[in-house]
C-alpha cells in the first residue's frame, strides 16, 4: 500500500481523501505519482499530447512536441523581462495512444541529471481515468533534492515577499 505524504493530515481529517498521491520510499531513486480524473481517458491523454493544453496546465510554452517513438519535446518559460526561467526537454521512447508514454525529462541549466518517466493512462469508467507516473532519478540524493525543490522554492518566495515588504516600507 502506498504511503501518501498526507499522513499527518489524514489523522486530523480522516475523511478527506487527497486526489494526488506521492509514493516515495526511503532509500529509493524513484517515486510514483497517482491521480484520478473526472475525465475520459482520451481527454486525459490529449492533455499530454496537444501543445495548447500542455501550455495551459503546465504553465509553460511548448516549443516542440513530437508524439511518437524517437520524438522529442521542448518546453520554455520566460519571465516578464523575457529571460528564460524554465527550460526542459526530453525524448519520447514509447508512445501508445490513451495508454502509455515513456520519456526522458531534463531541466536545462540546472545541476539535475536526466530522469526517466513512465506515464500510464488508465480508463476507470466512461467518464473517469487515472494517471500513474513512475519517475526514476539518477540517484537517491537527486530524487530527494527534486522532491524538496518546491519546498525550497516556497521558502525562497516567502523570503522574497518578506524582503519586498520591508524594502517597500523604506
Partner 1 sequence: MNLRRDVFQAIADPTRRSILMLVAAQSMTAGAIASNFDTARPTVSKHLQILTECELLRSEQNGREVIYHLNPNKMKEIADFIEPFRKMWDDRFNTLESVMKSYQDKISNEGSE
Nearer to partner 1 by C-beta: 20 or 163?
20
Closest CA to 104 of 86, 119, 121: 119
Which of 29, 32, 37, 106 forms a contact with partner 1 (CB under 8 A)? 37
Q: Which stretch binds partner 1 (CB under 8 A): 25-33, 65-73, 78-86, 115-123?
A: 25-33
- As measured in angstroms, the least distance from the Cβ of 166 to partner 1 is 24
Q: What is the DSSP letter of 39?
A: S
Decide: is 8 part of the binding site for partner 1 (CB under 8 A).
yes
- As measured in angstroms, the least distance from the Cβ of 62 to partner 1 is 14
Q: Residue 26, Cβ neighbours under 10 Å: how many?
A: 7
What dihedral angle (degrees, nearest 10) is formed by the CA atoms of 9, 150, 159, 8? 10
Nearer to partner 1 by C-beta: 32 or 116?
32
Decide: is 43 part of the binding site for partner 1 (CB under 8 A).
yes
Alpha helices in the chain (DSSP H): 7-12, 41-49, 51-58, 140-169
41 φ, ψ (degrees, to nearest 5): -60, -30
Q: Which stretch binds partner 1 (CB under 8 A): 14-22, 88-96, 107-115, 161-169?
A: 14-22
Q: Residue 104, Cβ neighbours under 10 Å: how many?
A: 15
Report the number of secondary-structure helices (H) and strands (E) in the chain. Answer: 4, 8
Nearer to partner 1 by C-beta: 40 or 71?
40
The interface with partner 1 within residues 125-154 (CB under 8 A) comprises 146-151, 153-154
Decide: is 62 part of the binding site for partner 1 (CB under 8 A).
no
19 φ, ψ (degrees, to nearest 5): -75, -45
Contact residues: partner 1, CB under 8 A:
1, 3-9, 11, 18-22, 24-27, 33, 35, 37-40, 43-44, 46-47, 53, 56-59, 146-151, 153-154
Amino acid at each position: 500500500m502506498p504511503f501518501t505524504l498526507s499522513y499527518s493530515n489524514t489523522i486530523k481529517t480522516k475523511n478527506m481523501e487527497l486526489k494526488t498521491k506521492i509514493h516515495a520510499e526511503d532509500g529509493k531513486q524513484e517515486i510514483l505519482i497517482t491521480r484520478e480524473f473526472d475525465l475520459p481517458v482520451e481527454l486525459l491523454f490529449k492533455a499530454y499530447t496537444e501543445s495548447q493544453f500542455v501550455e495551459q496546465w503546465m504553465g509553460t510554452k511548448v516549443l516542440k512536441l513530437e508524439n511518437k517513438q524517437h520524438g522529442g519535446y521542448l518546453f520554455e518559460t520566460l519571465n516578464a523581462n523575457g529571460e528564460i526561467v524554465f527550460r526542459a526537454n526530453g525524448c519520447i521512447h514509447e508512445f501508445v495512444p490513451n495508454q502509455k508514454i515513456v520519456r526522458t525529462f531534463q531541466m536545462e541549466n540546472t545541476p539535475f541529471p536526466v530522469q526517466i518517466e513512465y506515464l500510464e493512462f488508465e480508463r476507470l469508467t466512461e467518464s473517469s481515468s487515472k494517471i500513474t507516473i513512475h519517475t526514476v532519478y539518477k540517484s537517491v540524493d537527486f530524487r530527494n533534492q527534486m522532491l524538496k525543490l518546491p519546498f525550497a522554492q516556497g521558502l525562497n518566495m516567502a523570503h522574497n515577499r518578506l524582503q519586498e515588504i520591508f524594502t517597500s516600507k523604506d
